[in-house]
C-alpha cells in the first residue's frame, strides 16, 4: 500500500512539474520578457514592410515617368537646364526611395528573431509533450478559397516546386 502511495506521489509530482513547464512556455509566448517578440509586434513590422515597399515602388515609378517626360522635353528642344535639373531631382528621389531596403532589412530581422523565439518555445513544448504524442495528433488544415488554392506565392530558390524560366517558356510554346 505504501509503495502505491509513493508511486502515486511520484506521478503527481511529475505531472505537476510537467504542467508548470507547459504553463511557463505558453506564458512566455503570450507575454515574452522582450516585448519585440510579441506576435502583434511581428505583424505590425510586416505591415510596415509592405507599406514601405509600396511607397518606395510608387515613388520610383513616378520619378521614372517624370524622367522620361524630361527626356522627351529635351528631345522636343525645350529648356535644357530645367529638364536636366528635373532629371537630377528625380534621380535623387529614386535614390531616397531605395533606402527603404535598409529599414525593411532591419524590420525583417526583428520579425525573424521573434519567429525564432516563438519557434524555440514551441519546440520546448513539443519536447515536454513528446514528439511521438504530437505526431499522432491529427491536424486540420486551413480552409482556402478557390483562388488561394491556386496561389503558391514566390518560390524559394531551393523549393522543389519552383519553376525555372525554361518551364514557364515551355508553357507558352
Instruction: Give pLDDT tens digits for 41-96.
Output: 777 778 888 888 898 889 999 999 999 999 999 999 888 899 899 999 999 999 88
User: Is there a domain that residue 123 lies in?
Assistant: no
User: Is there a domain that residue 122 lies in?
Assistant: no
What per-residue confidence (pLDDT) applies to 21? 76
CA distance linking residue 104 with residue 52, whole number of Å: 8
Q: Span 89-107, mean pLDDT?
A: 86
What per-residue confidence (pLDDT) applies to 91? 92
Task: Look at the chain and report how many structural domains it folds into.
Answer: 1
CA distance linking residue 53 with residue 98, whole number of Å: 9
Question: For residue 92, what are the domain limits?
Answer: 37-117
Q: Where are the alpha helices (DSSP H) in the chain?
A: 2-30, 39-75, 80-98, 100-129, 131-136, 146-150, 165-172
- The pLDDT confidence band at residue 141, using thresholds 50, 70 and 90, is low
CB atoms under 10 Å from CB of 111, counted, come to 19
User: Is there a domain that residue 3 lies in?
Assistant: no
User: Is there a domain that residue 63 lies in?
Assistant: yes
**Residues 6-52 pLDDT 10s:** 877 888 887 777 777 777 777 666 666 666 556 667 777 788 888 88
- The pLDDT confidence band at residue 139, using thresholds 50, 70 and 90, is low
User: Is there a domain that residue 149 lies in?
Assistant: no
pTM over 0.75: no
Amino acid at each position: 500500500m505504501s509503495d502505491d502511495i509513493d508511486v502515486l506521489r511520484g506521478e503527481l509530482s511529475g505531472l505537476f512539474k510537467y504542467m508548470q513547464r507547459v504553463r511557463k512556455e505558453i506564458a512566455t509566448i503570450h507575454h515574452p520578457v522582450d516585448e519585440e517578440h510579441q506576435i502583434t509586434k511581428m505583424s505590425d513590422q510586416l505591415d510596415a514592410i509592405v507599406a514601405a515597399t509600396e511607397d518606395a515602388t510608387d515613388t520610383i515609378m513616378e520619378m521614372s515617368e517624370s524622367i522620361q517626360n524630361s527626356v522627351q522635353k529635351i528631345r522636343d528642344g525645350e529648356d535644357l537646364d530645367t529638364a536636366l535639373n528635373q532629371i537630377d531631382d528625380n534621380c535623387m528621389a529614386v535614390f531616397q526611395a531605395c533606402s527603404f531596403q535598409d529599414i525593411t532589412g532591419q524590420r525583417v530581422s526583428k520579425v525573424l528573431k521573434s519567429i525564432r523565439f516563438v519557434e524555440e518555445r514551441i519546440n520546448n513544448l513539443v519536447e515536454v509533450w513528446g514528439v511521438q504524442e504530437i505526431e499522432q495528433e491529427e491536424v486540420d488544415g486551413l480552409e482556402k478559397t478557390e483562388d488561394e488554392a491556386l496561389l503558391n506565392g514566390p518560390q524559394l530558390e531551393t523549393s522543389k516546386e519552383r519553376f525555372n524560366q525554361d518551364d514557364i517558356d515551355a508553357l507558352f510554346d
